[in-house]
Amino acid sequence: MTQGAVEILLVEDTPDDADLTIRTLRKHRLANALHHVQDGEEALRFLLGPEAPSPRPRLVILDLKLPKVDGFEVLRALRADPRTKTIPVVVMTSSREDRDLAKCYELGTNSYVVKPIEFGEFAEAVARLGLYWMLTNSVPR
Amino acid sequence: MKRRVLVVDDSLTVRSDLDEALTGAGFDVTLAGTLAEARHRLATGKSDLVVLDVLLPDGDGVDLLRELRSLPGTPVPVMLLSTEAEVKDRIRGLRTGADDYAGKPYDRDWLISRARALTRSPGREAPAPVVLVIDDSPTVREGLRAALSEAGYEVATAETGEAGLRLAADARPAAIIVDSGLPGIDGATVIRRLRQDTALRRLPVMLLTASESRDFEVSALDAGADAYVRKEDGMPVVLAKLVALMRASGAPSGVEETASLGSPKRVLAVDDSETYLQVLAGQLRNEGYDVALARSGAEALQLLEVQPVDCVLLDLLMPGLSGTEACRAIKMNPAWRDIPLIMLTALDEREAMIEGINAGADDYITKSADFEVLRARLRAQIRRKQFEEENRHIREELGRREKEATEERAARVLAETKASLMAELERKNQELESFSYSVSHDLRAPLRAIDGFCAALQEDCAASLDETGRGYLARVRNAAGRMGRLIDDLLSFSRIGRHGMTRVAVDMDGLFRGAIAEAREQNPSRALEFEVATLPRIPGDASLLTQVVQNLVSNAVKYSEGRNPANIRVSAEEFQTETVYSVRDNGVGFDPQYAHKLFGVFQRLHRADEFQGTGVGLALVRRIVERHGGRVWAEGTPGAGATFHFALPSGDPLS
């Protein structure tokens, strides 16, 4: 995958969830320029490290429960850095906990999606957010 | 601040005597000779004490007393002072509300002491330690007063041993300096008397002497002096010894808060012979006692009803109620039986005297005996009573302290237990919270994978599966969906406990209408008939009650499947302390013998293939209602519908 061409960064440690997400995005032709990392540390290195792609991805799909550096930390770091603070971040998580939701918005997430258990709903949610953030939404370049 | 005393008496002699005595004792004295004058004085200035004669030229002192007692506010203390023609006067005065009653002729020291007691307000006394100086030489008294005042002590002085003892009882000094050579009782005797008095025996006492003799010092210390100082040693030595003495004696223990032997005592003398009574009264008054006189046993009992006394002197042979009978009556009354009672007998009444002792008298004395003997026996009896009271007081005090300590210990244990339970509860709550957090997060992920890959299989590999394989896949997905709902239900069930309650007046009508609209939306093909009566608002948490209402409505809809139309009625009934809401359906109902199982978690009364459900809904309903302090119950008949009720406490929604 060409670094400069990455449009979506998927941060997800569960292979099943990652595959189902990628499969859904692919069905909607949104996965061509997708990069997948499996923990928070890797995500931060990809986005803020010396070899960070330019331009940066247009969307980060972020799980909360991640090994090493969790999703909250990733979100905090992205929002603290001028190079990444405007990148849309969608938190996709299994947690329905109010405190997680509140915390994510405090840290500056653009969206918070609870992963539906039922696959039909899950696929619909992923497709909708992919289409919205990739095609409908505009960000300062 | 000086306390003000108003003296009301028509006798100029009494007025000037009391003026001198009370002014000398540090009171601010105003005088009145008539009731009219007294009323004027009372109207124009506040008094802390009224000393009031009963027989006044323009009326009865008791009338003024009655007027004072009918006034609102803190009553001013009143001491009646009267020539005692009749014990009835004393009884009448005390019943009208006099704080004390003294008979004329009065003893000045007695009266001043009572005046001090009656005007003493708690917490008002200055804590500066008082040193009592007993010396007959004005030079020594004033010399000591000057030196001690300069050293920061309050000083009280007395000229004689007798006066000194009374003052000691009254002023409760921190230390006493007594001269060895005194007129009347000498210094050693004063010390001996102090050591006999439970309230005063721990007082540090220093004996002051002019003598050079060693023997003298030994005998002084034998008598109970704590220190001994020669006058020629000079003031600095006296002061230094005094300081050392007071330091060594330490702080009072608090157990000694009791009346002293030397404090004013009241004696009730009962005799039918007026002559004997007057002689006896005169002698006792000279000794500083307040004497109440009764001419019969009946009068004596009347007097005891209104005024406690410290000793009773009772004539054995009297007309009417005899001495023996009066004695028995006194000793059988729990309030009076501790009062020492001395029987007065004529010489030839030996038999009767024995009878009197048997009736409960504490001592007896023949009338012909010297007054000295009577005085000594009286002192002995009063001292005995004092000791007993002291002992009882100490026992009570110790008992009280022990009880306090026990209570304190119990309270501490309770508090500790409570704190550790709270900590345990807090810990359990945290555990539960992190448990349900990981349930919410971790149990969902595999379910999503199961459902997701089944869906992928259906979509991508449908061609390579036969009908049976596709059927299995559908069942796997169905099961995954059910488990998902179960997890969601369980989570919301566990969340109720952690959910903070926000009590507002909840619009139950709106909640039911919302739930009904939702039910219609979810079952578009069903014929649903709802009848909703007027539903009162109720104090509660709106989001929790929403779950109650939704569960009951969806249950009613679910279990009336197959009825055409399904009829669901919602009603409410208001009672004094609660409101009962009811949801009735015409569905399959249930067997009442299992009614108790309805509200348990995972309890279901129907097979899974009959009605879908996780068995959590009604448990959730019960938990929420109980958190509101309410209750739930259900009635049902198989095949004939069910009614679910929940009662919520009514009351101020803001409280």
pLDDT tens by residue, B12-27: 888 999 999 888 888 8
Do the domain assignments include residue A69?
A: yes
- Per the listing, tokens 């009346």 go with B259
The parent domain of residue A42 ranges over: 3-136
pLDDT interval class at B261 (50, 70, 90):
low
Q: Which residues of B touch A14 (CB under 8 A)?
A: 445, 449
* Maximal CA-CA distance, chain A: 40
C-alpha to C-alpha distances, B437 to B138, B443, B449, B499, nearest whole angstrom = 92, 10, 19, 14
**What's the token pair of residue B429?**
């709550």
- Among the residue ranges B53-62, B506-515, B564-573, the one predicted with the least confidence is B53-62
A20 occurs within a structural domain: yes
Tell me which of A117, A118, A126 to substitute to probe the interface with B (most B C-beta atoms closer than 10 Å).
A117
Least CB–CB distance from B448: residue in A65, A95, A115: A115
For B452, the closest of A20, A95, A96 (CB atoms) is: A20
> Between B441, B453, B454, which is nearest A95 by CB?
B441
d(C-alpha B623, C-alpha B599), whole Å? 9
Instruction: Look at residue B92 and tell me whether its pLDDT is greater than 80.
Output: yes
3-state secondary structure of B91: helix
Place of tokens 């899974």: B608
Tell me, yes or no, whether A101 lies in a domain: yes
Chain A residues with CB under 8 Å of a chain B CB are: 14, 16-17, 20, 23, 65, 93-97, 115-120, 122-123
- Give the residue on B whose Cα is nearest the Cα of A119: B452
Chain B residues with CB under 8 Å of a chain A CB are 437, 440-442, 444-449, 451-456, 477, 480-481, 484, 487, 491
Q: What is the 3-state secondary structure (H, E, C) of B534-585?
A: CCCCEEECHHHHHHHHHHHHHHHHHHCCCCCCEEEEEEEEECCCEEEEEEEE
Domain-embedded: residue A123 = yes
Reported confidence tier of residue B289, pLDDT bands at 50, 70, 90: confident
Q: What is the mean pLDDT of chain B?
A: 83
E strands, A6-62, are: 8-11, 34-37, 59-62
pLDDT of residue B573: 93
| Side-by-side strand order, sheet with B311-315 | B290-294, B266-270, B311-315, B341-345, B363-366
Q: A95 and B491 in contact by Cβ < 8 A?
A: no
* pLDDT, average across residues A50-76: 89
Q: Which residues of B391-403 are buried (b: 16+ CB within 10 A; e: fewer)?
A: eebeeebeeeeee
Contact B64, B93 (CB under 8 A): no
Dihedral angle, C-alpha B519, B520, B522, B527, nearest 10 °: 110
Of the pLDDT bands very low, low, confident and very high (cuts 50, 70, 90), residue B251 is: very low
Inspect the interface and report whether the beta carbons of A94 and B437 lie closer than 8 Å: no
B152-166, B229-243, B275-289, B452-466: segment of lowest average pLDDT: B229-243
Contacts of B451 in chain A (CB under 8 A): 117-119, 122
| pLDDT (0 to 100) of residue B580 | 95
Choose the closest CB to A97 out of B440, B456, B480.
B440
Q: Chain B: give the shortest CA distance to residue A54, in Å.
A: 33
C-alpha closest to that of B135 among B164, B159, B165: B159
Chain-chain contact of B455 with A123 (C-beta, under 8 angstroms): yes
Mean pLDDT confidence for B346-352: 70
Chain A partners of B481 at a C-beta cutoff of 8 Å?
A: 117-118
| Residues in chain B within 8 Å Cβ distance of A20 | 448-449, 452-453, 456
Other CB atoms within 10 A of residue B203 CB: 23
Best B451, B478, B499 residue to mutate vs chain A (most A CBs within 10 Å): B451
Instruction: Compute the average pLDDT of residues A61-68.
Output: 89
Q: Provide the 10 A C-beta neighbour count for residue B562.
A: 9
Phi, psi of A62 (to 5 degrees): -125, 125
| Contacts B454 to A, Cβ<8 Å | 119
Does any domain span residue A141? no
pTM exceeds 0.80: no
Q: How far is B488 from chain A (nearest CA, A)?
A: 10
**Which of B446, B455, B491 is nearest residue A119 as measured by Cβ atoms?**
B455
DSSP string, A95-136: ---HHHHHHHHHHT-SEEEEPPSSHHHHHHHHHHHHHIIIII
| Token duo for residue A66 | 């991640």
What are B194's two structure tokens?
Answer: 């102090």
Q: What is the mean pLDDT of residues B489-515?
A: 83
Report yes or no on A42 lying in a domain.
Answer: yes
pLDDT for residue B254 = 37
Q: How many CB atoms lie within 10 A of CB B455?
A: 19
Q: At A112, which CATH number? A: 3.40.50.2300
Alpha helices in A28-95 (DSSP H): 40-48, 71-80
Closest Cα partner for B606 from B588, B624, B618?
Answer: B588
Report the residue from A65, A117, A120 with minimal CB separation from B441: A65
Type of residue at B570:
V
Over residues B523-552, mean pLDDT: 91
Are B263 and B169 contacting, i.e. CB atoms less than 8 angstroms apart? yes
**Cβ-based contacts of B448 with chain A (< 8 Å):** 16-17, 20, 94, 115-117, 119, 122
Residue B126: the pLDDT is 46
**For B91-108, what is the mean pLDDT?**
82
Which of B124-128, B263-267, B524-528 has the weakest average pLDDT?
B124-128
Q: Is the pLDDT at B201 greater than 70, yes or no?
A: yes
Q: Are strands B578-585 and B642-649 parallel, antiparallel or unpaired?
A: antiparallel
Query: What pLDDT does residue B532 have?
Result: 92
- The tally of domains found in chain A comes to 1
Position A27 pLDDT exceeds 60: yes
- pLDDT at site B367: 80
| CB spacing of B451 vs A117 below 8 angstroms | yes
B28-32, B40-44, B496-500: the lowest-pLDDT one: B496-500
Summarised one tens digit per residue, pLDDT across range A29-56 is 888 889 999 999 999 999 998 888 888 8
Give residue B85's pLDDT band: very low, low, confident or very high (50, 70, 90): low
At B260, is the pLDDT very low, low, confident or very high (cuts 50, 70, 90)? low
Domain membership of residue A76 (yes or no) is yes
**Distance between CA A114 and CA A101 in Å, rounded?**
9
A82 lies in some domain:
yes
Angle between helices B61-69 and B87-96 (to 10 degrees): 20
* ipTM of the prediction: 0.76
